[in-house]
Amino acid sequence: MIMRTITLIIIHCSATPEGRRLDFETCRRDHIRHRGFTDIGYHFYITRDGEIHRGRPLEKVGAHCKNHNRHSIGICYEGGLSADCTPADTRTLMQKGSMLALLRELRLLFPKALIVGHHDLNPVKPCPCFDAVKEYRF
């Protein structure tokens, strides 16, 4: 297996309001049907119950952050909007725990990769609706 050079681990939110669900398969179908992707754009998707779903294989380029897909891994958590649809950190404790465990695992594989939020690379977007650089500085 040929592994890509990974310099970034990019955190995203699904922009799903509190009280609504966007499960992994629905997100995958949306990416295929409405965005024309061959698969979900992310490498990992974390639902509100903390379950980590594998999306694209790590050796495949994702489709989650323009101009940065070739050298990054994309992780998305279900949520990111308050019930009234304003950007908010809606991660559950289970999501926070799963995200931390996943990031620690990925850091073992890619020790030099920077962990950033989508917003850090595209300031027009509020995604992931929290400061990923500050939170995951380890």
CATH classification at residue 97: 3.40.80.10
Mapped onto helix, strand or coil, the DSSP state of residue 36 is coil
100 domain-assigned: yes
How confident is the model over 32-77, as pLDDT tens digits?
Answer: 999 989 999 999 999 999 999 999 999 999 999 999 999 999 999 9
Domain count of the chain?
A: 1
Helices (H), 52-117: 93-109
The pLDDT of residue 1 is 53
38 domain-assigned: yes
Q: Which residues of 96-112 are buried (b: 16+ CB within 10 A; e: fewer)?
A: bebbeebbeebeeebee
Contact between 133 and 80 (Cβ < 8 Å): no
91 domain-assigned: yes
The predicted model scores a pTM of 0.95
Structural domain including 31 reads 8-135
Kindly state the DSSP code that residue 74 receives in the 8-state scheme: E
Distance CA 3, CA 99 (A): 22
How confident is the model over 106-126, as pLDDT tens digits?
Answer: 999 999 999 999 999 999 999
2 domain-assigned: no
1 domain-assigned: no
